[in-house]
Amino acid sequence: MSEHEANADVSWRGKLLLSENTLFGMGNPLLDISAVVDKDFLDKFGLKPNDQILAEEKHKPLFEEIAKKSKVEYHAGGSTQNSVKIAQWMIQKPHKVATFFGCIGTDGFGEILKKKAEEANVDAHYYEQNEEPTGTCAACITGDNRSLVANLAAANCYKKEKHLDLDSNWELVKKAKVYYIAGFFLTVSPESILQVAQHASDKDKIFCLNLSAPFISQFFKEQLMKVMPYVDILFGNETMEQMDDIAEIAKKTQELPKVNTKRQRVVVFTQGKDDTVATVGGKVTAFPVMDIDQNDIVDTNGAGDAFVGGFLSALVKEQGLEECIRAGHYAANVIIRRVGCTFPEKPEFQ
């Protein structure tokens, strides 16, 4: 970053007043339900202590049962919703800088989800339908382990024509300057993603996508490649042995065709405790993460979502890449010290 850019960066800080709905997210809203359980509970549902699975028929009763535990905690979850929630927490004020779209059921869990989104000061507009219950993710905690069981249910039912295409909702899309969607949503409504991505590209706004999980690029490659020409910032979390591989992948990804040529595609890969790697121009740069004592790490599950949330909070303030990554590293560092994707009342990020 040149001195001129660095100075410009500082002048933004504290002066740029964000308006509501500047950041738009769309994805699978899940109600995270976490509780401490015992080995019998895990055995009853055939769960490993540390795992992430999609719910099968035999797991259906688990969700009602875990909700009856004495110290059950509820949080608004799902990858994209977590990221916009963290971006809003980093921004603090004004409230509702972040907008979120997704599908829920007309049920008790849906009501809790709405309440939780409101508490997080996110402007959530859910498509509500009564065919499927609200999506849930049960975190069954035993000691330091947590076994995650996700039941997408309603989250799978998002319909472009029933929600995104409504004038009042599309107005919210138009208000945004930065868009973020996790790759998981490619399995639900690729046509919705495409419509938002095309809008961002046409209006020279910033569209960000996350590769999310290996199965997305393996099994939903066609949907992914349709959206790729509109992607300005691509996030991924890769555990690769050599920088060369990442550099190669990042470079190849960056060179894929792009509709809006005014912005060069930026690729950002996080690698857990190893350096975050980003491409700028033809160059690949490594950014070390913040130090943390292994004993302070409680739960790394929300780290990727938190990184993106922090990154987006700086991006909407029009800060440079280095500053966006620094904010991402800070948010991830806070989240991994706590259970679930939760945070203290205020960030201490300078």
Catalytic residues: 305
* Tokens 């007309």 -> residue: 106
Place of tokens 């800080």: 13
DSSP 346: S
Helix residue spans in the chain (DSSP H): 3-12, 39-44, 60-67, 79-91, 108-119, 167-175, 190-202, 214-219, 221-227, 243-255, 303-315, 321-335
Do residues 204 and 260 lie in contact, with contact meaning Cβ atoms separated by under 8 Å? yes
Partnered with residue 73 across adjacent β-strands are 34
Tokens representing 274 are 């190893």
Are the C-beta atoms of residues 320 and 9 closer than 8 Å to each other? Answer: yes
Q: CA distances (Å), 29 to each of 85, 111, 138, 284, 315, in order?
A: 12, 12, 13, 34, 23
Distance CA 282, CA 272 (A): 24
For 297, list phi and psi in degrees, rounded to 5: -80, 120
- The conformation of residue 99, written as its DSSP 8-state character, comes to E
Distance CA 107, CA 128 (A): 9
Concatenated DSSP letters for 168-192? HHHHHHHH-SEEEEEGGGGGT-HHH
